[in-house]
């Protein structure tokens, strides 16, 4: 299995295992609660106003337990219709207590026919939609507990046991829903850790193979080109730049999220991407990239736009700076903004040249750099002087909800 297949399997398998375990636990609870309800119905049926009605309700509960166990086992059926039906059956069995039980038994505080079996519906809603849905289902069944006394004419004799049962249902919906969310978050983090480990191992494997083949060949071409001189020296220089870029690429941390181009996955533009590996990929013999030791997270779209602007700036250095011109890329990560500067030791930009280029329709700086940064809500400052090089400073603000917390 390739590294990519391992990562996809790791990311997809664990959440499925968690869902199976959760729904299996709800199914087990249904069966145990059904057995408890059957024991109480058998014990109390002699005091019911309609004893056969109690056994009929128990039959409905048993049939629904069997069907719900089967239905909830299929992820395709765990939608609103099945959840609504589950809650409706639980509510019907609960309200049937007012018809089966005698008013004296209800006033005395005898348990309802389904007892704790109705909590299975609360658990199903909590597992499916978290604490919000769990509390909703618990509130509905709590109203049903109160309606029993209204229907039986014993509303004036509500006892503490009824309110205790309602509180327990609400607590079950809240706690189970919250725990399920925590468990899903933990599973997602574990899957991400497994994915990063697989990516690291794959990167190390590729790095070993590249080092033993491509990098050695590029280093040899660089060395021999320098020895031969002439056109071979230029080839050697290019080979050296590619060697440096490739070393930076295979040495970059795989922890950056969303390294794909944002236009490849338009639905995932809000994912966080580490800006560092995108910029260090531009390292070469004449380009030095300096980044913070910790990740520089940005929205994927913003990170790739900044990388494209830096690439355009470096391309201008290569085309207009001449042989031997060096460039430095510096990343500064602030709480509310990220500053990326590209500086070179070239001849500088003559006064009025950028305005003339824009007037002539050559919009490299105007669009590839300023346009991109402007669209991100940032600013570009260009400092240059003849014979003293050029520095392009790009400042991009973080989105309000992406700012670092101290």
114 and 38 Cβ atoms separated by less than 8 Å = no
252 and 289 Cβ atoms separated by less than 8 Å = no
- Average pLDDT, stretch 260-265? 42
**366 pLDDT tier (thresholds 50, 70, 90):** low
3-state secondary structure of 285: coil
CA 321 – CA 309 distance, rounded (Å):
17
Asked whether the predicted pLDDT for residue 257 surpasses 60, the reply is no
**17 pLDDT tier (thresholds 50, 70, 90):** confident
Specify the pTM: 0.52
Tell me the pLDDT of the chain averaged across its residues. Answer: 81
CA 377 – CA 397 distance, rounded (Å):
7
**354 pLDDT tier (thresholds 50, 70, 90):** low
The pLDDT > 90 percentage for the chain reads 34
Enumerate the domain spans of the chain. Answer: 3-189, 270-406
Q: What is the DSSP string of 20-39?
A: HHHHHHHHHHHHHHHHHHHH
What integer pLDDT is reported at residue 254 of this predicted model? 57
**90 pLDDT tier (thresholds 50, 70, 90):** very high
**286 pLDDT tier (thresholds 50, 70, 90):** confident
Helices and strands in the chain, H and E counts:
13, 7
CA 252 – CA 203 distance, rounded (Å):
9
CA 282 – CA 266 distance, rounded (Å):
25
**405 pLDDT tier (thresholds 50, 70, 90):** very low
What integer pLDDT is reported at residue 395 of this predicted model? 94
Q: Where are the beta strands (DSSP E) in 260-304?
A: 272-274, 287-290, 297-299
Residue 53, H or E segment: helix 51-72
Structure-model confidence comparison of residues 180 and 349, the more confident one: 180
CA 70 – CA 308 distance, rounded (Å):
53
Highest-confidence range of 4-13, 51-60, 319-328, 365-374, by mean pLDDT?
A: 51-60
Residue 306, H or E segment: helix 300-321
Asked whether the predicted pLDDT for residue 314 surpasses 50, the reply is yes
CA 40 – CA 54 distance, rounded (Å):
10
- Average pLDDT, stretch 35-54? 92
What integer pLDDT is reported at residue 290 of this predicted model? 92
Structure-model confidence comparison of residues 256 and 80, the more confident one: 80
CA 170 – CA 119 distance, rounded (Å):
10
- Geometric angle at alpha carbon 178, from 177 and 181, rounded to 5°: 90
Sign, CA dihedral 89-94-97-103, equals: negative
- Average pLDDT, stretch 239-267? 56
pLDDT in tens, 141-172: 999 988 888 887 766 556 667 788 889 889 99
pLDDT in tens, 215-245: 677 778 877 877 787 777 778 777 777 777 7
pLDDT in tens, 167-215: 988 999 899 989 988 888 888 888 888 888 887 787 777 766 666 677 6
* CATH 3.30.565.10 given to domain 270-406: yes
């Amino acid at each position: 299995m390739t590294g990519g297949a391992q990562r996809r399997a790791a990311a997809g398998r664990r959440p499925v295992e968690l869902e199976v375990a959760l729904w299996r636990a709800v199914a087990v609870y249904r069966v145990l609660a059904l057995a408890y309800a059957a024991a109480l119905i058998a014990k109390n049926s002699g005091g019911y106003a309609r004893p056969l009605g109690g056994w009929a309700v128990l039959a409905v509960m048993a049939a629904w337990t069997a069907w719900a166990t089967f239905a909830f086992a299929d992820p395709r059926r765990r939608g609103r219709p099945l959840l609504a039906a589950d809650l409706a059956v639980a509510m019907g069995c609960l309200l049937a207590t007012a018809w089966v039980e005698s008013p004296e038994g209800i006033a005395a505080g005898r348990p309802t026919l389904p007892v704790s079996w109705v909590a299975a519906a609360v658990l199903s809603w909590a597992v499916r939609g978290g604490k919000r849905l769990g509390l909703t289902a618990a509130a509905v069944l709590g109203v049903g507990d109160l309606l029993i006394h209204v229907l039986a004419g014993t509303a004036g004799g509500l006892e503490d046991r009824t309110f205790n049962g309602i509180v327990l249902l609400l607590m079950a919906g809240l706690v189970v829903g919250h725990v399920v969310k925590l468990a899903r978050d933990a599973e997602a983090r574990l899957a991400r850790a497994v994915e990063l480990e697989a990516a690291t191992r794959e990167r190390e494997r590729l790095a070993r193979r590249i080092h033993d083949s491509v990098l050695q060949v590029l280093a040899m071409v660089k060395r021999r080109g320098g020895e031969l001189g002439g056109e071979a020296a230029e080839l050697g220089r290019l080979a050296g730049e590619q060697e440096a870029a490739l070393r930076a690429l295979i040495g970059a941390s795989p922890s950056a999220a969303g390294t794909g181009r944002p236009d490849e996955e338009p639905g995932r533009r809000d994912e966080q991407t580490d800006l560092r590996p995108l910029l260090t990929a531009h390292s070469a013999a004449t380009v030095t990239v300096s980044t913070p030791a910790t990740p520089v997270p940005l929205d994927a779209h913003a990170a790739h736009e900044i990388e494209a602007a830096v690439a355009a700036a470096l391309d201008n250095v290569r085309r207009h700076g001449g042989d031997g011109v060096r460039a430095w890329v510096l990343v500064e990560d602030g709480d509310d903004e990220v500053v990326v500067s590209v500086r070179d030791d070239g001849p500088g930009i003559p006064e009025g040249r950028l305005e003339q280029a824009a007037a002539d329709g050559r919009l490299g700086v105007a669009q590839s750099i300023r346009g991109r940064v402007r669209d991100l809500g940032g600013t570009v400052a260009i400092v240059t002087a003849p014979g003293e090089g050029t520095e392009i400073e790009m400042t991009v603000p973080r989105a309000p909800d992406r700012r670092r917390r101290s």
